[in-house]
Structure 1
Amino acid sequence: MALATVRFDAGQPVDLEDSLLGGQAHRWKRASHPELVEGEWYSGVLRGVLVLIRQHGQAIEFLSSSSDPQAMIPRIRDHLRLDDDLKAIQAEIAGDPNVAAQVERYPGLRVLRQDPWECLIAYICSANSNIETIHRNMERLSDEFGEPLTLPNPQGEGTGTITRNAFPKPVDLAEAGEAELRRLKLGFRAPYVHQAAIAVAERRLDLAHLVAAPYQEAKAELMALKGIGDKIADCIALMSLEKMEAFPIDVWVRRALADWYFPGQKTPTNRILLEWAQRYFGRYAGYANQYLFHGRRLRDRKPAQPESG
């Protein structure tokens, strides 16, 4: 019997290409199973469930490895932050002409709501790296330590399956040890990943608490871990801890700020830029950040250049 797809109405502007593949999350990719699945799909793993997803306008269609596909609708809506009134947010931040230009180009770009544990490790892996390498590191960790997930071929039984692994649990990476993480090519990031995994496994770092904590408190707790500075802490805070005022400054955002807001002068330090941006853009500074990041990276990116440092 063929596996049926599930559809629901997003009820909000959304562009899966820009949102899922734009460098926020690091396990989404275009589905590479043309002999099994027709059409344009994106493959990802949401909290232990393998998902293939695509859109038709504002209609979202998906397949999943869940035994209760309907239960995946709120999970997908949550990941895409469809509870955010995107048009109202855009109206609030698009008083700035530079952000307005990017909103016009990418009207369906949304900040994702990611799993805090997975997001923590992804952005520790982002130090002095680029998006493609972060993707590879996250996939290696999942392949080595994660639980296998299987999606039966939607064309019917007996014609193949689609398989990926869930992201490993904190205890799995804690028990793996630094040497094993280095073997997986994490390099200097290996001890930071290992120490973060131990902190979460032992509940010394309570990520659920940080979701409810004030921004500065959450950021300070993250930065108490080795390997996490301002930029990485702000990425985690924005993309998984509900801190919409967070404003990560990587190379692309710094270039956007330097060229569009401080032209012809010495660019301020990242700390000064962060304070300025949060005052200037206000409570949705994180959304403004993503439009600037996405627009500038796609304008003049160079594949071999670090993108997240």
Structure 2
Amino acid sequence: MENLDIAEKNNGLIIKNIKNFEAKHIFDCGQCFRWNEQEDGSYTGVAYNKVINVKSADNVLYIDNCNLKDFNDIWYKYFDLNRDYDHIKMKLRNDKILEKAIKFGYGVRILNQDPWETLISFIISANNGIPRIKKCIEALSESYGKKIGEYKGQTYYSFPEPEILKEMRIEELLKSGVGFRAKYIFNAAVIVGEKQMNIYRMKNLSTEDARKELMLFAGVGPKVSDCIMLFSMEKHDAFPIDVWVKRVMEYFYLPEGSKLKDIQEFAQDKFGAYAGFAQQYLFYYARELKLGKNN
């Protein structure tokens, strides 16, 4: 992103001329689970062993507990600030439905998250609600992660490494509230921790090949694999289909009761390389407005 006006102030940054960035849209669109809204409308979150607080208003981004080095090394990439979202919106706006969804969720950005953390987070997400997913991830981090430090009176922990989780018994993992997913988490930790599979290499594969490899993990189906690819591997043609995306696709584009495979193929044909961005706009639009519910 060009022409950013960045100033350091009081253990934080003030970044002007920031376009297409709305904290609420980014952190509430189902792609991440370690960001929580504060009373002032800002969001505090953990990523890459750092804790920051983010607030956006009038094309200005405020990041607290952050210095310029961390912004350049971590957050510039994490927040996808090198991408031209005006260009993406222009490519998608020829669809009237997407034009409304983009207008509604104008500040959505796709985060570039850690593949290991994203793998486990979305394994936990299966048949689960967001508040419970967040609780499970925090419980795992507090039990098996490393203490990062304190911020505004709260202690924060890193996401646990696979090498740590693979040494745990499934009975231990169950204490984090993950339920039947405990065996999937353990299985993934063994595979990644013992380097049977390199999930950091998958971004170099085609979307189809990466999807096949991800689905070798127990507990990873088509939706979870597409979430992992979209939110941590820069596979922007991935199109995760959850209940809200299915509803909005059937509400606007396809007959009710369409098969997931048919929805996937329709989305790939219609949105192509921008399918993942279309998915995020449609997901946020559908869920916030409860489109397709009880219709």
Residue of 206, 217, 222 corresponding to 1:225: 217
Is the 2:226–2:239 contact (alpha carbons within 8 Å) kept by the matching residues of 1? yes
Runs of at least 5 residues in structure 1 that lack an aligned partner in the other structure: 33-38, 154-160, 302-309
Name 1:276's counterpart in structure 2.
266
Residue of 198, 217, 220 corresponding to 1:206: 198
Q: Residues 248-287 of structure 1 correspond to what in structure 2 (within 5 A)?
A: 248-262=240-254, 265-287=255-277
Distance 1:10 1:115 in 2: 27
Name 2:180's counterpart in structure 1.
188
Letter in 2 for 1:282: G
Distance 2:17 2:167 in 1: 40
Highest RCO, 1 vs 2 (Cα 8 Å, sep ≥ 6): 1
Letter in 1 for 2:62: E
Is the 1:31–1:52 contact (alpha carbons within 8 Å) kept by the matching residues of 2? no
Q: CA deviation at 1:84?
A: 1.4
Name 1:77's counterpart in structure 2.
76
Name 2:6's counterpart in structure 1.
none
Name 2:23's counterpart in structure 1.
16
- Cα separation, partners in 2 of 1:10 and 1:138, compared to 1, 3 Å: farther
Q: CA deviation at 1:12?
A: 2.8
Distance 1:287 1:174 in 2: 34
What TM-score does the superposition give when structure 2 sets the normalisation length? 0.91
Q: CA deviation at 1:21?
A: 2.4
Q: Once superposed, which parts of structure 1, at least 4 consecutive aligned residues long, lie more than 6 Å away?
A: none
What TM-score does the superposition give when structure 1 sets the normalisation length? 0.87
Name 1:140's counterpart in structure 2.
139
Q: Percent identity?
A: 30
Q: CA deviation at 1:181?
A: 1.0
> The residue matched to 1:149 in structure 2 has which SS?
strand
Runs of at least 5 residues in structure 2 that lack an aligned partner in the other structure: 1-8
For residues 14-41 of structure 1, the C-alpha deviation after alignment (integer angstroms, 9 at most, x for no partner) is 0011101222100000236xxxxxx442
Residue of 280, 285, 292 corresponding to 1:290: 280
What is the RMSD of the two structures over their aligned residues, measured on CA atoms? 1.9
Letter in 1 for 2:68: Q
Distance 1:254 1:191 in 2: 28
Name 1:110's counterpart in structure 2.
109
- Once structures 1 and 2 are overlaid, which stretch shifts more, 6-15 or 71-80? 6-15
Is the 2:203–2:234 contact (alpha carbons within 8 Å) kept by the matching residues of 1? yes
Distance 2:256 2:32 in 1: 32
Distance 1:14 1:20 in 2: 11
